[in-house]
Structure formats: C-alpha cells, structure tokens
Structure 1
C-alpha cells in the first residue's frame, strides 16, 4: 500500500495543505492516521482515497433553472375577472352591509 504525504496530495489537487486538512476534518477525504493519539495528526493518503475524493467532487456545470432562457408559452390566456379599486370594493361592501342591516 502506497501512502502519500499531505503535501503530495495537495499538489495533485492543486490546493494548499491547509485546504486539504479542512477536507479531511470535514470528512470529505479519507486518510490514514499514523499519529499516536497526540494533538498533531500525522495524516497519510492512499491514491484510492484521492481518486475517490476527485470522483465525488466531480461536477458538470448545469445552468440554474431560474436563470435558464424561458420557453415561450404556446397558448394565450384570457381572464374573465374585472379589476376594481380597493376603495370601490370597500364602498360596495359597506353599501351591501347597510342594505342588510336596514332590511
């Protein structure tokens, strides 16, 4: 089994060792811990771990659906509703209320 140093893996991924450590801390890339339980971790990586990380992080750029060009609607719609002002609606409801209470 070949074990790679963090610097080697970072160079291959074209990131800093600090960024690689962040990936490892977040569980995004697997590693072998060679430390004896102290504060400093002695991480080593296998080529398989690196390839697995790359394949998981591989993306294809797809345009966002909300910014994609809109397709033209194939039909036209017509509405049978009428637009009335707020005050006109309020006045109509008030007059109906007066009719109901007086009658």
Structure 2
C-alpha cells in the first residue's frame, strides 16, 4: 500500500497523543496510507462544495473562488483551520474556482 510521509509531534507525557507542530514535543515521521488521505480529503471537498453551493450569488456579486486551509492529522484526517491563531504551518491551501 502506498503511503505519504508526514512529520507529527508527540508529547513525551502522552505517547498516544500525536498532532501537527505541538510546541515542546518530539517530532516523528509517520506514514499515512494514500487511500486514507484520499478518502478524507474527498469527503472534506464534497462537504465544502455542499456548503458553498448555497452562496454562489450574493446580491449582484457572483462567487468566483473559495479558498480554505486544511491540516493533515497524524491519523490521516483532514481538518479545516478555523482561526488564524492556529497558524498556517504545515497547512495545505485548497482553492476551488469556476
């Protein structure tokens, strides 16, 4: 099975907890199965499409492009970044255009 390498942080006091770029944590290389990442990214893109489909036109303006930033979890999950405080380190930017 194909996999993609990704750097994750592991806290010393809780080796079962892994995240992306946690301060004061050991950095490990994890391999994420391509199928897992493909499935999770596909679900997120479909959900974003559903949400955005209702906002195609606002007054006289037409929505031309939507940009979202996502991060990949150590388990291969794909999560949207909700605030600027989370930061963009290691983020993937997805741009959807007509």
Q: TM-score, normalised by structure 1?
A: 0.28
- The structure where helix makes up a greater share of residues is 1
Q: TM-score, normalised by structure 2?
A: 0.29
Using CA pairs below 8 Å that are at least 6 residues apart, which structure has the higher relative contact order? 2
- The structure where strand makes up a greater share of residues is 2
Which entry has the higher C-alpha Rg, 1 or 2?
1
